[in-house]
Amino acid sequence: MCSIIGYTGKFTAASVLVESLKKMEYRGYDSVGIATLDSNNILIRKGVGKVREVDDSLQLYKMPGQVGIGHTRWATHGGISKSNAHPHTDCDNNVVVVHNGIIDNYQQLKDNLIKQGHIFQSQTDSEVIAHLIETYLKKFDIKQAIIETCKQIHGTYAFVAIFKSGLVAGARLDEPLIIGIGNNGNFISSDVLGFLEYTDKAIFLDNYDIVILDDKNINLFDFNGNAISRPITQVAWELGDIDKGKYAHYTIKEIHEQKNSIPMAFQINRSSLEKTVDIISSSKNIFITGSGTSYHSALLAKYLFYKFAKIRTEIIMSSEFEYVSGALDENSLLIAISQSGETADVLNSVKIAKQHKAKILSIVNISTSSLCRLSDHYVSINSGPEIGVAATKSFTAQLAVIYSIIDNFCTNNRPLDMSTSMFSNILNEILTDTSYLEKIAEDLKSVRDIYILGTSYHYPIALEGALKIKELAYIHAEGIAAGEIKHGPLALIEPGTIVIVLNPEDETYYNVLNSIHQMKSRGAKIIGISNKNNDLYDYFIRLPLVNKYLYPIIEIIPIQILSYYLAIKNNANPDYPRNLAKSVTVK
């Protein structure tokens, strides 16, 4: 939820940190701060806003010193303000800390520290870390002070501190922290994007790892102070390729990238696919979990597993998982779907499933993520970096992977024709001219509510479409199973209410037409998304003809584009929706 970066080396730290923070801003973007060490003095500058804005006003990049830490915040404890922005310092400005996560017992720790005479400057939970380290430094060296601090704090954290000696220290528990080993210095970061411009050599810290580093040495310890070692991983350089290119925003760039990312996702490595099929076939109870968009992928998987593989799966939203996990055992399989592989709710579900001895299979984009490392096996959706906070290309790639897995269960009669060349042509057709969607957005930009209807495997797409409209355009939107409207939602329909219907010609077609009649006769304005026009539609968004079972993968794309245009027309920044963050690493 927040991004952390630390650097020690030959370069001026602040300019390196500012550029790194810009790349990780997707993790949180309400305030920014940097601390550097200059001639035995710790300097701090911080402010409210995005990295570029705060850098323009405070000239962060000009701060002197070759050791530093930086942070972008997504507020949890304490409002969005300069004093709550990180870094936080101890009473004497001898140690300065940045933190990602939540310290559950911070209030009790803070009360004790205040009784001992510590003075706090923020309302955050994070500031206790600086004061605890200060206290322990009176008795111990840096290593032991960090260990004692970690023993005191409960919750989730990745934190990094710098000291006047020039040392940088960090620790993690259930939040990512990665070391980058460069020729011109070392890094410590929430994401490899923080240092990929300088090095592709990374060490992924595990839970309960502590690191102390300078520009040449990296020393790792466990919470008992024993030296430990972790492998050096070579990270793919392409992850660093996050330029907007010719596009105004990452979101629209990533929507267009689906021309390649969908066909790519269909090409799962054969042996990985076979292993996946084996794991699924040998499991008695299959649970699928995910959050937000990834949860919608899980829901679609349920329909497809039933229909084509005759396999029953139970879909559980990750944030609800801990309350309904009683039925898991050693014959169970949990399939965890996550773009980032770092979502706290998903990781928590995995942890619970592992406690029940269930197997873990994951579908992820970031193959260096915590989720991959916790899984018995993972399948990569291969989408490349997705920077826009709204999931777009990762959603359709998740669907492509799910279809590919399920296709392998249809051994006698393969109903899912997924030739990649066919897909490329279809995607070109959808994405080449989007002016009609822009016109619809102009007509819709001031509406208060939008309903999206779909039945069967179009229902998860209706939910996902509504999520896109909400988060990008700040318009209330609701996905509804078409057959359900007569059981309640019809009461909301009045003349002019906007209803988008997902209605390609397949076995759901006539049932959905019935629901459209029921709404149309109450004055709803209908936007039909289909391969076939109908007089009932006030607007018609044509889909190219594909195998009828594959429509879910393509019918979301016009809604993604419509949501993007609605955001633009409502002056919202589609890349960074208010109050959200790309990687939700807190529960």
Which H or E element spans position 362? strand 359-364
Whether the CB-CB separation of 511 and 455 falls below 8 Å is answered with yes
Using the minimum distance from each CB to ligand M6R, give the nearer residue, 293 or 325: 293
Whether the CB-CB separation of 199 and 180 falls below 8 Å is answered with yes
Using the minimum distance from each CB to ligand M6R, give the nearer residue, 145 or 387: 387
Pairing of strands 525-530, 498-502: parallel
Listed in sequence order, the residues at least 6 apart from 46 whose beta carbon sits closer than 8 Å to its beta carbon are 31, 32, 33, 34, 54, 58, 82, 85, 86, 87
Using the minimum distance from each CB to ligand M6R, give the nearer residue, 339 or 434: 339
Using the minimum distance from each CB to ligand M6R, give the nearer residue, 189 or 294: 294
Structure tokens that stand for 94 in this block: 């001898």
Q: Which amino acid is at 224?
A: N
Using the minimum distance from each CB to ligand M6R, give the nearer residue, 317 or 447: 317
Q: Which residue has the tokens 């609800």?
A: 320
Cα 368 from Cα 205, distance rounded (Å): 11
Question: Nearest distance from residue 156's CB to ligand M6R, in Å?
Answer: 15
Whether the CB-CB separation of 373 and 342 falls below 8 Å is answered with no
Using the minimum distance from each CB to ligand M6R, give the nearer residue, 68 or 384: 384
Cα 20 from Cα 25, distance rounded (Å): 9
Question: Nearest distance from residue 316's CB to ligand M6R, in Å?
Answer: 14
Q: Catalytic residues, which ones? A: 2, 582
Q: What does the angle CA 215 – CA 221 – CA 227 come to, to the nearest 5 degrees? A: 95
What residue is closest to ligand M6R based on CB?
292
Strand partners, 288: 315, 335
Structure tokens that stand for 236 in this block: 């793919």
**Where does this chain bind ligand M6R (CB under 6 A)?**
291-294, 338-340, 343, 346, 389-391, 467, 471, 584
Strand partners, 187: 7, 180
Q: What does the angle CA 281 – CA 282 – CA 287 come to, to the nearest 5 degrees? A: 75
State the alpha helices, DSSP H only, in 138-257: 142-152, 250-256
Question: Nearest distance from residue 89's CB to ligand M6R, in Å?
Answer: 32
Helix (H, G, I), strand (E, B) or coil at 474: coil
Whether the CB-CB separation of 339 and 386 falls below 8 Å is answered with yes
Whether the CB-CB separation of 488 and 501 falls below 8 Å is answered with no
Listed in sequence order, the residues at least 6 apart from 406 whose beta carbon sits closer than 8 Å to its beta carbon are 301, 304, 305, 308, 309, 416
Cα 519 from Cα 446, distance rounded (Å): 21
Question: Nearest distance from residue 137's CB to ligand M6R, in Å?
Answer: 37
Cα 298 from Cα 290, distance rounded (Å): 7
Structure tokens that stand for 276 in this block: 């996946």
Using the minimum distance from each CB to ligand M6R, give the nearer residue, 389 or 402: 389
Whether the CB-CB separation of 178 and 191 falls below 8 Å is answered with yes
Q: What are residue 253's phi and psi, to 5 degrees?
A: -60, -45
Question: Nearest distance from residue 343's CB to ligand M6R, in Å?
Answer: 3
Count of residues for the chain? 587
Q: Which amino acid is at 29?
A: Y
